[in-house]
Amino acid sequence: MNIKKSILVRVRVAFLAIVVFAICVAAKVGHIQFVEGEKWAKMEEEIMFDYKTVKATRGNIYSDNGSLLVTSLPFYKVAIDPTLAKEDVFKKGIDSLAMLLSRYYKDKSTVEYRRMLLDARASRKQYVIINRKQINYQTKKEMSSWPIFREGRYKGGVIFEKHDVRYRPFSNLSRRTVGYVNENGVGVGLEYSFNDVLGGQNGEALFQKIAGGVWKPVFDGNNTKAIDGLDIQTTLDINLQDVAETSLYRHMEQHDADEGTVVVMEVKTGHIKAISNLTRDGKGNYQEKYNIAVAGSIEPGSTFKAVTMIALLEETNIALTDNIETGNGLYNFYNRTVKDHDIGGYGTVSIQRAFEVSSNVAMAKLTDKYFGTKPEKFLKYVDDLKLSKPLGIQIAGETYPKITRPTDKSWSGITLPWMSYGYGFEISPLHTLTLYNAIANDGKMVKPIFVTSVNRADDKQKEFEPEVLNSKICSNKTLAQMKILLEAVVENGTAKSLKGTHYRIAGKTGTSQILEDGHYTKKYVTSFVGYFPAHAPKYSIIVLMKNPKGIFQYGSSVAGPVFKEIADNIYSRDLNLHTAMEKKVVFEEGVFPVIKSGHQEELSMLTNELGVSSHTATEEEWVKAAKNGSAVVWRKNAIVNDRVPDVTGMTFRDAIYVLEKSGLRVVHNGKGRVEEQSLPAGARFTKGSRIYIRLS
């Protein structure tokens, strides 16, 4: 800046020198006329030079497939230096130019535009704004062919001053997540969070202040060229975003809800494929006013019961088949009463059933029994599951969870029982989704990702890989039991309205009362969070609505249908989620028969009939087949109590016999031999657990 300031000083000194020289010449010829101080200052001010910022072109924001979410479009303000055009060019073209300007801007007549240009040229004005209305690039190209303008900047005097305007090809879709940055650098969303890379580096150029307080650009060798911003590639799927936002909007209208959010995450990577946040705008519509999923601080309600069950299964020896007395659905803790949803309660039920029907009494009693004297132990699970701190995502403005501790003044004997079913503390919906995504991801918790790379054109400047927050949130045994519980909620529990699809859903409903002025009201936050397909999860989704009106105010009837609509759309578009058509089996003479697994006596009889030699390496009843030259060798496939059998390769008849004899409930899909089983072979399980097998 020191160099530039010295240039400015030299310009002004040169100006003064020219004026002094002119005075001296005038004095010699006897025509000297002194200028008063005020007029001198005014003349100096009118010809001031200064360096001003030249803004860089802001980078683009792309969806996961390269579609433009936001870009910068050039718009131009049209001005002219009427003194630059040659006399014959100006005279010949002024009438046509005035007519064309009048037709385009429609604010002055042809005569008025002609008079404006003539007066400006006669008074030697070097900068005249034609119209303050900005034009786009196509109009600029058209105007560049008009009389006088077609001579260009130096011979015709036309000046097209560029101003970049942010443009969203998909209008308000995911508006809050994409965000904005205003002229003061204040903003939200990705635009603000990645402002340093998107914004580029502004340049500087010399401008001259002329009559009327207008600044005219001056081309100077010391100008600093602006460096355009980099692009960012997001994880958002624009088609899925449209489906999610449309579904949420429609159901919020249907239930007259105040606020709502939906987030779709890819299980393995943590990529956020869709996110919508809608708030009532006071005019009967909904808009994206703030990012509820990221910045919302909400009591999670019954969706938190997954945390309670993880802590109980990890720390105690309880089994899902153990019974718990819930009585008539009312249970007193000190001077407060825990209530279940259904009037009359559920009586004595298994722990699994208590979870299926979302019994508050059962969760509170179990938590108080096993953690009442050691609440820090319970809260350690809250901490390890990353629910007590911000996740550190790529979007600024993430809420800080509000978790009550035993050392806090507000802690009391009812705090832990109330916490067990999601009351008395606040987390964001994204925290809840990240936890359920970890269950779907075989216990690996990954951080939600919104941006995968920063690019300059096709050149990647920086990439963002999936980040693991917790490599294993619980043991394999607990994980298998949690999957059973979450599938059971949809099959037999509070979310059974979501069953009956071509794929299976696992998840948990949530309904929590809204706290206002220190008192719980009859207003509710309803939610459903889960993943699908249950046997091989690919996507996890959370849906949440605040204060729905009418008779339907629970997660299964308000948030669940939104989840189902989005999941159905994904399933219909993703062929990898579909079961392949059964292949036609063709037997060829001389080809070795397909023998994989089954009952040893029956398989030996079969090979004898086919004339295939077989040998045994075990006396076990159930075996796996291994080829040894032109013979078959039977290897051990032991069936052990309380362990999941390995039924891959078996026929459906053998598989269902083995699994049901072991105490498992079987659900199947397809025909032929078992290709895949949902519970890993050798894992511990509880009697009555459900296992899914896929046949092909």
For residues 432 and 417, what is the distance between their CA atoms, to the nearest angstrom?
19
pLDDT score for 423: 94
pLDDT score for 196: 93
Q: Return the H-helix or E-strand segment holding 152.
A: helix 152-155
Domain's final residue, options 570, 605, 639: 570
Query: Residue 296 — very low, low, confident or very high, per pLDDT cuts 50/70/90?
Result: very high
- The residue whose two tokens read 């009427």 is 82
- The residue whose two tokens read 């899925």 is 240
Residue 338 β-bridge partners: 331
Query: Residue 574 — very low, low, confident or very high, per pLDDT cuts 50/70/90?
Result: confident
Closest CA to 381 of 298, 481, 309: 309
Top-ranked range on mean pLDDT: pick from 201-215, 502-516, 566-580, 605-619 = 502-516
% of residues, the chain, pLDDT over 70: 88
Max CA distance (Å), the chain: 134
191 belongs to a structural domain? yes
548, 526 Cβ separation under 8 angstroms: yes
155: its two tokens:
């011979």
Residue 41 has pLDDT above 60, yes or no: no
> 104-107: which pairs have CB atoms within 8 A and are 24 or more residues apart?
104/139, 104/143, 105/130, 105/131, 105/133, 107/131
Rounded average pLDDT over 541-569? 87
pLDDT score for 205: 74
For residues 90 and 95, what is the distance between their CA atoms, to the nearest angstrom?
9
For the domain that residue 608 is a member of, what is the CATH number?
A: 3.30.10.20
Cα 204 to Cα 72, 226, 289: the distances in Å are: 20, 7, 35
For residues 554 and 311, what is the distance between their CA atoms, to the nearest angstrom?
26
Residue 545 has pLDDT above 90, yes or no: yes
354, 363 Cβ separation under 8 angstroms: yes
- The residue whose two tokens read 């400006």 is 120
Amino acid at 377: K
For residues 265 and 526, what is the distance between their CA atoms, to the nearest angstrom?
20
- HSE (side-chain half, CA atoms, 13 Å) at 500: 5
For residues 361 and 359, what is the distance between their CA atoms, to the nearest angstrom?
5
Per-residue model confidence as pLDDT tens digits over 188-202: 999 999 999 999 888
330 and 397 in a common domain: yes
Strand, coil or helix: 463: strand
281 belongs to a structural domain? yes
248 and 175 in a common domain: no
**Which runs of consecutive H residues, i.e. helices, occur in 510-651?**
555-558, 560-573, 600-610
For the domain that residue 551 is a member of, what is the CATH number?
A: 3.40.710.10
CA dihedral 542, 546, 552, 553 (to 10 degrees): 90
- Angle made by CA atoms 195, 201, 202, in degrees to the nearest 5: 110
Q: Return the H-helix or E-strand segment holding 133.
A: strand 128-136
For residues 674 and 655, what is the distance between their CA atoms, to the nearest angstrom?
7
* DSSP result, 255-288: HT-SEEEEEEEETTT-BEEEEEEEEE-SSS-EE-
Closest CA to 411 of 370, 379, 363: 379
For residues 668 and 647, what is the distance between their CA atoms, to the nearest angstrom?
12
Rounded average pLDDT over 345-370? 96
For residues 274 and 262, what is the distance between their CA atoms, to the nearest angstrom?
8
More confident residue, 298 or 169: 298
Residue 17 has pLDDT above 50, yes or no: no
Closest CA to 31 of 22, 18, 39: 22
More confident residue, 453 or 281: 453
578 belongs to a structural domain? no
DSSP state of 238: H
pTM: 0.76
For residues 666 and 692, what is the distance between their CA atoms, to the nearest angstrom?
6
For residues 303 and 428, what is the distance between their CA atoms, to the nearest angstrom?
12
83 and 29 in a common domain: no
642 and 537 in a common domain: no
DSSP state of 224: B
Residue 621 has pLDDT above 90, yes or no: no
40 and 177 in a common domain: no
Per-residue model confidence as pLDDT tens digits over 636-653: 888 888 788 999 988 898
For the domain that residue 136 is a member of, what is the CATH number?
A: 3.90.1310.10
208 belongs to a structural domain? no
Torsions phi, psi for 205 (to 5 deg): -140, 155
CA dihedral 580, 584, 589, 593 (to 10 degrees): 50
509 and 459 in a common domain: yes
pLDDT score for 323: 95
CB neighbour list of residue 148: distance below 8 Å, 6 or more residues apart? 80, 85, 89, 90, 93, 94, 97, 156, 157, 158
Residue 629 has pLDDT above 80, yes or no: no
Query: Residue 31 — very low, low, confident or very high, per pLDDT cuts 50/70/90?
Result: very low
619 and 470 in a common domain: no
683 belongs to a structural domain? yes
219 belongs to a structural domain? no
Cα 561 to Cα 255, 264, 566: the distances in Å are: 12, 15, 9
Count of domains observed in the chain: 4
For residues 31 and 42, what is the distance between their CA atoms, to the nearest angstrom?
22
pLDDT score for 43: 47
- Angle made by CA atoms 49, 55, 56, in degrees to the nearest 5: 140
432 belongs to a structural domain? yes
Rounded average pLDDT over 478-491? 94
More confident residue, 284 or 354: 354
480 and 355 in a common domain: yes
563: its two tokens:
């989840």
Query: Residue 51 — very low, low, confident or very high, per pLDDT cuts 50/70/90?
Result: low
* DSSP result, 17-69: HHHHHHHHHHHHTT---PPPHHHHHHHHHHTEEEEEEEPPPPPPEE-TTS-EE
653 and 543 in a common domain: no
626: its two tokens:
């291994």
Cα 460 to Cα 63, 161, 194, 247, 451: the distances in Å are: 15, 32, 15, 35, 12
Rounded average pLDDT over 238-260? 94
Residue 591 has pLDDT above 70, yes or no: no
- The residue whose two tokens read 């994989």 is 596
Per-residue model confidence as pLDDT tens digits over 641-696: 878 899 998 889 899 999 998 888 888 877 888 888 878 788 777 788 878 788 87
The reply to whether omega before 390 is within 30° of 0 (cis) is no
pLDDT score for 468: 97
Burial class (CB in 10 A: 0-12, 13-18, 19+), 242: middle
- Angle made by CA atoms 284, 285, 291, in degrees to the nearest 5: 135
607 belongs to a structural domain? yes
Mean pLDDT of the chain: 86
286 and 431 in a common domain: yes
Closest CA to 417 of 370, 375, 364: 364
Residues of the domain holding 31: 2-46
Amino acid at 683: A
116 and 163 in a common domain: yes
Residue 33 has pLDDT above 50, yes or no: no
DSSP state of 330: E
406 and 295 in a common domain: yes
